[in-house]
Homo-oligomer: A and B are copies of this chain.
Amino acid sequence: MRGSAGLESDRNAALLTDLYQLTMLQAYWREGLEGRAAFSLFFRRLSPSRNYLIACGLDDVLHYLEELRFTEEALDHLRGLGCFGGPFLDWLAELRFTGDVYAMPEGTPVFPHEPLLEVEAPIGEAQLVESFLINQVHLQTVLASKGARVVAAARGRKVVDFAMRRMHGTDAALKGARAFYIAGVDATSNVLAGKLYGIPVSGTMAHSYVQAHEEELDGFREFLRLYPDTILLVDTYDTLEGVRKVVQLARELGSDFAARGIRLDSGDLATLARRAREILDAAGLDAVEIFASGLLDEHGIARLVEQGAPITGFGVGTRMGVSDDLPAIDLVYKLTEYGGVGRRKLSPDKATLPGRKQVFRIESGGAAERDVLAGRGESLPGRPLLHPVMKSGERLASASETIEEVRARAAEEIAKLPARLRALEVADPPYHVEVSEALRAEAERAATG
């Protein structure tokens, strides 16, 4: 098996888990522990660089749960490990996920201690799926949340995802392009992500293309001949000289000149954009737009926007692609109920609230004011955020959404947040999430009981 970890992982996705999930599963099976358990997927705190996260990854979670099964090949492998018995493996061959799932729809802004999703199933099943569920929701939530900041910084200017090459592997590059699009990014350079998810694709040219021609001007001319409305990369040798060559080409081509823009990829982007704008405008090329790229993140974009740099679009790569200021969050999946009784873990700094939950978002005049974290059975004012998405192992029809629906939700829900949360700086005060009276009482009982 070389290179095709993707293929192999799909056929054997059930093995894409931590060993202890399988040893615990065998223990539950041997002990006859088949009681129904509830697990909650949530995070405990926001980093100062995030005022909210965008829930993302549910679609892949539901697909995984529907498809989960151990193939003959997987069972043979487990047999070879020496720690699993034959009768258990026979039982495992028949195992399917039969549980229920409640979740926030993808694209929903989410806050500490609020469940992104809750799984209710016989304890073995619910436990087994932990590693994969965290892996997917973590990746996609981390990236959607970073993408939302980049989009906010661009204040309506176009943002294109250029990150594929430095994202962490092929799965991240694909799921990430989807997460960015949901967060409001306009297009991706990733061709396969465009195919899989129906995302608009976009691209310009690379320095090597310019270098492969004897003269920069020849490279521009040839590329325009094939792609009349393309964007020309002008910084291979000397940026402003490159811009002047675009002007020269515009004169040469006359009314056939239709280049959409130029791209700056290095240097002092604000200054270069201003000078380039002057050169273009002086030549009557006001329709030629200026795009910028090169180590940009939300802060770099915000600076360019504040400086009034005449840039109409940003190509954003590595820093968004790995969420470099926050590549990981403390997303956890915790047992909150077993056999109908709320459970709490009391490890220092890792305490959990017991039982199945609901989150109510209190809105006023179309703006989100605060959330109330409550028990599932409670009926409180506000809009409930957790909905049933899977029943007895089957995805509900309401849980099949198009990417455009999810993207529209994200835009709408983010717009409802208080302005201080949508800023890049730390929101002071942070968004208020309170615990309902009933849930607080339940937590007291579970801690002392």
Residues on A facing B (Cβ under 8 Å):
1-13, 15-24, 26-28, 30-31, 33, 35, 37, 39, 59-64, 67, 77-78, 81, 83, 123, 127, 130-131, 134-136, 138-139, 142, 162, 164-176, 189-192, 194-197, 201-209, 211-212, 222-223, 226-227, 230, 235-238, 265-267, 318-319, 321-324, 327-328, 331, 334-335, 338, 343, 345-350
Contact = CB atoms under 8 A, between A and B. Distances in A.
Nearest to A64: B3
Contacts of A165: 18, 130-131, 134-135, 138
A192 B135 contact: no
A191 B19 contact: yes
Contacts of A135: 164-167, 169-170, 173
A341 to B, nearest CB: 10
16 contacts: A3-B13, A9-B170, A9-B174, A18-B189, A20-B189, A23-B203, A27-B209, A28-B209, A30-B222, A136-B169, A169-B175, A169-B176, A236-B345, A266-B349, A266-B350, A322-B328
How many copies altogether? 2
A347 B235 contact: yes
Query: Across chains A and B, which 8 residue pairs bring their CB atoms closest together, nearest first?
Result: A3-B63, A169-B171, A19-B203, A6-B6, A168-B168, A20-B203, A2-B63, A7-B10
A169 B166 contact: no
Nearest to A191: B15
Contacts of A8: 6, 192, 196
A194 B16 CA distance: 10
Contacts of A204: 20
A7 B345 CA distance: 38
A266 B3 CA distance: 37
Question: Looking at chain A's contact residues, is the secondary structure mostly helix, strand, loop, or mixed?
Answer: helix
Nearest to A24: B209
Contacts of A223: 27
Given A23-B227, A212-B33, A222-B27, A9 B192 contact: yes
A196 B5 contact: yes
Contact of A207 (B18, B59, B345): B345
Given A138-B165, A189-B20, A226-B27, A6 B7 contact: yes
A136 B393 CA distance: 35
Contact of A3 (B2, B59, B127, B164): B59
A350 B266 CA distance: 8
A170 B335 contact: no
A39 B208 contact: yes
B345 A211 contact: yes
A416 B401 CA distance: 55
A89 to B, nearest CB: 14
Nearest to A35: B212
B322 A206 contact: no
Among A162, A238, A318, the most chain B Cβ lie within 10 Å of the Cβ of A318
Nearest to A195: B77
Contact of A347 (B64, B170, B207, B350): B207
B60 A17 contact: no
Contacts of A191: 15-19, 22, 77-78
A197 to B, nearest CB: 8
A335 to B, nearest CB: 4
A335 B211 CA distance: 8
A318 to B, nearest CB: 5
Greatest chain B CB density within 10 A among A165, A203, A335 is at A165
A412 B447 CA distance: 52
Nearest to A83: B227
